[in-house]
Amino acid sequence: MATMAAQTVGEALKQQGVSRRAFLKFCTAMATLMALPPQSAPAIAQALSAARRPSVIWLPFQECTGCTESLTRSDSPSVENMIFNMISLDYHETLFAAAGDAAEAAREHAMQENFGKYLLLVDGSVATGLDGAYSCIGGVSNVQMLEQAAKGAAAVIAVGSCASFGGLPRAHPNPTGAVPVSAIVKDKPVINISGCPPIPVVITGVLAHYLTFGSLPELDALGRPKAFYGESIHDRCYRRPFYDQGKFAKTFDDEGARNGWCLYELGCKGPVTHNACATVKWNGATSYPIQSGHGCLGCSEPDFWDRGSFYQALPVGSWGGAKTLAVAAAAGAAVGVAAAALARQRQRDIAKEE
Ligand code: FSX
C-alpha cells in the first residue's frame, strides 16, 4: 500500500478541491495564531504549498476519543479540519475504515517507508501495569507500540491531557499504572498539546508551524507550545474587568451571574490554567466554557482530576495574584488582541457561509 506522503500540501489541496481563497484565509489565521504579522500569510502559503505532506501515525491509547472527536467534529470546511489536507494520515485506528490485520499492516508499512521522517501523534495515556496488559492493540501493549513507533519518528506529539500528563486514567488510584507519553519517550522531542479535549485549532497550528518552518514551536516548561499556552485563561478572559472591580457571581443564577460577572468564587480555575480557550474559543470560535456561564475546570494542567475542587474558589495565595497577572497580561496583549480578532473574523466567516 503506497502512502500519499510524497504529495505536496499544494497538490493535496488542489486534488481535494480546496479553493485558493480558503487556503489563504487559513494561512492568515495561522499567521495570527503564531503571533506573526498578517502580511506573512503569503509566505506561509508558499512554504505550506511546497511542503511535502508528512506521514502521520496516530496511536490511540487509554482515552475517551474526545481528542479525535474534537478535531473531526468541526464545521466543514474550517481551520480545524484543514489539518487533514496537510498530512498523510497513514494510521489512525479510530478513523480507519480498515480493521484488524489490515490496519496493523498499514501502520507497519508507513513506519518502514517513512522511517525517521514521520510524525507520531498519540492520544491517551500509556498503561504500564501488568506489563502493559491493561491496554493492548492487536495483542501489542501500548508501551511496546509506542516504543516501536517512536524509534522512527521525527517528533512525537502528545494530543490531549491524557497523553500529555496522564489525564483521567492516571487519576488516583491509577489502577492501570497510566503514564504520559513523555515518561516512555525520552530520546525524541515530545510536544504536549494538553486539554481534555485539546483545542483543535491548536493541533492544526502546531502542524502548520512544523510544515512552514521545518521546526517545532517554542515550548513552555511543561512541553506545551508557548504561542497557545503562554497565557492563563484569566489573563485573556473577557470577564477579567469584573474580577479587577471585585464583582463576583456567588451562585450560578444570581444577578452577578446574569450580568456576566467573574466566576472566580464559583471555582473557576482560569487563573492557574494555561490555554487559548479565551481567545481562540471553540465550535467555530462561538464560545468557550466561561462564556457559557461555567468556570474553567483547568483541564489543560497536570493532575486536574485529582486536584478537583471544581466548585471551590482557588485558595488565596495559591496563584500569581492581580499584580503579577497584570504585568503578564500587558506582555501578552498583542498576541491576545490578535487572537481575539481572529476569533471574531472566524465567526464572521462562518456567518457568511451560512
Ligand atoms: Fe484524554 Fe483524549 Fe480527555 Fe478524552 O484522546 S484528554 S479523556 S477528551 O479523549 O485522551
Tens of pLDDT, residues 103-128: 899 899 999 999 999 999 999 999 99
338 CA distance to ligand 1 centroid (A)?
29
Is residue 139 pLDDT above 60, yes or no? yes
Please tell me whether the peptide bond between 173 and the residue prior to it is cis, using omega within 30 degrees of 0. yes
Helices in 51-99 by DSSP H: which ranges? 66-72, 83-86
Is residue 135 pLDDT above 90, yes or no? yes
Q: List the residue whose alpha carbon is closest to atom 3 of ligand 1.
A: 196
Q: Is the pTM of this model over 0.85?
A: yes
Which set of grid coordinates corresponds to residue 269?
Answer: 480555575
Q: What tens digit of pLDDT does each residue of 211-230 get?
A: 999 899 999 999 999 999 99
199 CA distance to ligand 1 centroid (A)?
11
Question: Which distant-in-sequence residues (6+ apart) come within 8 Å of 172 by Cβ?
Answer: 306
Mean pLDDT value across residues 268-289: 93
End-to-end CA distance of the chain: 39
Q: Give the SS3 label for residue 157.
A: strand
Q: Work out the mean pLDDT of the chain and round it to a whole number.
A: 87
Q: Give the SS3 label for residue 6.
A: coil
Q: Is 169 in the pocket of ligand 1 (CB under 6 A)?
A: no
Which of 237, 236, 239, 235 has its CA nearest to residue 319?
A: 235
Is residue 316 pLDDT above 80, yes or no? no
Q: In terms of CATH, what superfamily is 53-229? A: NADH:ubiquinone oxidoreductase-like, 20kDa subunit (3.40.50.700)
Is residue 344 pLDDT above 90, yes or no? no
pLDDT at 333: 39
Provide the b/e sequence for 150-181 (b: ≥16 CB within 10 Å). bebbbbbbbbbbbbbbbbbbbbeebebbbbbb
Q: Is 126 in the pocket of ligand 1 (CB under 6 A)?
A: no
Return the domain boundaries, the chain. Answer: 53-229, 233-337
Burial class (CB in 10 A: 0-12, 13-18, 19+), 217: middle
Please tell me whether the peptide bond between 77 and the residue prior to it is cis, using omega within 30 degrees of 0. yes
Q: In terms of CATH, what superfamily is 233-337? A: Cytochrome-c3 hydrogenase, C-terminal domain (4.10.480.10)
97 CA distance to ligand 1 centroid (A)?
21
Is residue 193 pLDDT above 50, yes or no? yes
Q: Is the sign of the CA dihedral 5, 124, 302, 201 positive or negative?
A: positive
Q: Is 297 in the pocket of ligand 1 (CB under 6 A)?
A: no
Question: Which distant-in-sequence residues (6+ apart) come within 8 Å of 329 by Cβ?
Answer: 231, 235, 236, 240, 336
Backbone angles phi, psi at 201, to 5 degrees: -60, -30
Backbone angles phi, psi at 178, to 5 degrees: -65, 135
Is residue 166 pLDDT above 80, yes or no? yes
Question: Which distant-in-sequence residues (6+ apart) come within 8 Å of 177 by Cβ?
Answer: 127, 128, 129, 130, 134
Confidence of residue 334 (pLDDT cuts 50, 70, 90): very low
- Looking at the chain, the whole-number percentage of residues with pLDDT higher than 90 is 61
pLDDT at 119: 95
Strand partners, 178: 127
Is residue 348 pLDDT above 60, yes or no? no
Is residue 165 pLDDT above 70, yes or no? yes
Is residue 350 pLDDT above 70, yes or no? no
**8 Å CB contact between 79 and 107:** no
Q: Is 162 in the pocket of ligand 1 (CB under 6 A)?
A: yes
Q: Is 64 in the pocket of ligand 1 (CB under 6 A)?
A: yes
Which set of grid coordinates corresponds to residue 98?
Answer: 480498515
Q: What tens digit of pLDDT does each residue of 42-55 get?
A: 999 999 999 999 99
**8 Å CB contact between 273 and 233:** yes
Mean pLDDT value across residues 280-290: 91
| Among 35-39, 53-57, 348-352, the range of highest mean pLDDT | 53-57
How many angstroms separate the Cα of 31 from the Cα of each of 143, 237, 284, 339, 352?
Answer: 36, 22, 17, 10, 22
179 CA distance to ligand 1 centroid (A)?
14
- Specify the DSSP element, H or E, that contains 145: helix 142-151
166 CA distance to ligand 1 centroid (A)?
10
Confidence of residue 70 (pLDDT cuts 50, 70, 90): confident
Please tell me whether the peptide bond between 197 and the residue prior to it is cis, using omega within 30 degrees of 0. yes
pLDDT at 324: 39
Q: Give the SS3 label for residue 314.
A: coil
Q: Please tell me the distance from the alpha carbon of residue 327 to that of residue 93, in angstroms, as a whole number.
A: 45
How many angstroms separate the Cα of 7 from the Cα of each of 12, 53, 85, 112?
Answer: 7, 6, 10, 18
